[in-house]
Amino acid sequence: MRIIDYSQYYWQDDKVRLRAFEEEDWESCYTEGFDSPARILLECAVELPPTIAGAKRFIEQNVAFSSTNGRIMFTIENLEGHNIGGINLNSIDERNGTFSIGIVIDQPYRGQGYGTSAMNILLRYAFLERRLHKFNDYVLEGNEGSARMMQKLGCVQEGIRRQVVYINGKHMDFIMFGLTKDEYLANRDAKRGL
């Protein structure tokens, strides 16, 4: 197999690399479906048990950027080439310049900065290549890891949508976050010491 030189690869930083979904990613998709607490935080619902057929179907529908649902789906790898999660650019509104990002980091890799790195790569792409203007997202109440990540990224908490989802017998809130392109650039320059 040919060795790839990633030294100039746009879709990576010093922690992670983003790539297209590949057919063999179904296994990671399937096994991570058993992490019910993480799936609830991601999907804001209790899902039915995962199936191999469902995992294969999901990957098949999104392999090689073939999604028809408006999402641009990536696998997140660490620099050793291990699949550690997924990220997608979604809810893209070209007219108003808004977008959202969905992300999941597999359990063994959480809390190590991989999610923040992957988010920074996708934010850079959305703001500087797609010319989008505003990142909008929400975090389900209790998802402290994602809330911390939003703050590290420079996002502003813009409000709370109270009791908007019903999970496990309880109504729960969405904590709304936002980041403009100008805020992103100011945060990026501050980190670089400019």
β-partners of residue 80 are: none
Mean pLDDT, rounded, of the chain: 94
- pLDDT for 192 equals 81
Mean pLDDT calculated for residue range 152-181: 96
* Whole-number Å distance between alpha carbons of 136 and 157: 10
* Whole-number Å distance between alpha carbons of 80 and 94: 35
- Tell me the percentage of the chain whose pLDDT exceeds 90: 83
The count of C-alpha atoms lying within 13 angstroms of the C-alpha of 174, restricted to the half-sphere facing its C-beta, is 14
pLDDT in tens, 143-159: 999 999 999 999 999 99
